[in-house]
Amino acid sequence: MTPYLQLDSVNKAFGDFTALEDINLNVEKGEFVTFLGPSGSGKTTTLMIIAGFEDATRGAITIEGQSLAGLAPQERNIGIVFQNYALFPHKTAEENVYFPLQMRGVKKAEGLKKAADMLELVGLEGLAHRYPKELSGGQQQRVALARALVFEPDLLLLDEPLGALDKNLREAMQIEIKRIQKRLGVTTIFVTHDQTEAMSMSDRIVVFSNGNIEQAAPPLDVYHKPSTRFVADFIGESNLFEATIRDAAAGIADSAVLGEVAYRAETRRHLRQGQEVTLLIRPENLKLSQDPLADHRHSAMTVDTIVNYGDTALVIGQKGAAQIRVRVPGAEVVSLQEGEACFVNWTDDAVFVLDR
């Protein structure tokens, strides 16, 4: 079956600088895919090529098997929402949403009715006749979203649309965008550098680095089963320890920091004796104690720093020159003191192996 959206060996060069190198990606109809990565990783460049605002140096992009080559942005039937919303200040919310229908020759009465229906869908009924300056940032964002959806696009592109909102409103809009996307079933690509947005909103996350795709997978797979050290380090908090495989069949490695470590069977793959690897243990999979816990492997450490977030706390410990980060419930740090010696404990299932 032909993928709904397909990127085939897409490259982009700006002079001698290669911004994208062989981007290959399939997106299914109705899927919510997030492009995640640091600044300069290539995620926005890829979005702009899909939208038609940039030309690929080589490669092909198709929607339902139809090439987008040579089509101007307005000819691609793609809805786009940018971070600055780009609303017309002299038009009301209703007129802003009607505008793309007007450009497509939809009669005014019919177009305004569709605009009103779309404003109701995004929760702005009763605000149709307000101008952008009379709307809050979150309301302007909803108008921009309604405008991008009103003409029933084949694809919705969102380029960091929540970047200008405060934390609470940002979280509320994450939920709203996901609700609307599921309700309409529109295929969506969302660009962000915010890991929380990517984890909470996506059907699949595509992690970019230096113009390449490091991993494309569901959020929990990206978090718990990163394919590269970059992904492990970029997504969430990580403890990364260098180690050497001692017994590949039994799943045993030696770490200068942790000593003997057993790791999850599913990560053994092609590992061999003597191979140098990186062990990943997420901070929330570690436990602190005054004495070693039964049925756990353990290592001594000294509490260096405690960062309290209220519901949780991050305890940063020292083991020689290495740091160990442990995420614990906030109530557990009451009895901990910086400079105190303790044990960090883990089970074999907490250890994931990455090729170095």
CB 150 within 8 A of CB 143: no
How does pLDDT run across 292-343, given as a tens digit for each residue? Answer: 999 999 999 999 999 999 899 999 999 999 999 999 998 887 788 899 999 9
- Residue 341 vs residues 31, 257, 336: alpha-carbon distances, Å: 48, 16, 9
Go through the domains of the chain in sequence order and give each one's CATH number: 5-230 (3.40.50.300), 237-355 (2.40.50.140)
Structure tokens, 45: 């460049």
314 contacts 192 by C-beta, under 8 angstroms: no
For residues 287 and 296, is the Cβ–Cβ distance under 8 A?
yes
Greatest alpha-carbon span in the chain = 75
For the chain, list residues with pLDDT below 50: none
Give the global pTM.
0.92
Q: Are 79 and 136 in contact (CB under 8 A)?
A: no
- What is the distance between the alpha carbons of residues 176 and 181, in angstroms, rounded to a whole number? 8
Summarised one tens digit per residue, pLDDT across range 133-157 is 999 888 998 999 999 999 999 999 9
Count Cβ neighbours within 10 Å for each residue of 308-332 and write b for 16 or more, e otherwise: eeeebbbbbbebeebebbbbbeeee
What pLDDT score was predicted for residue 86? Answer: 83
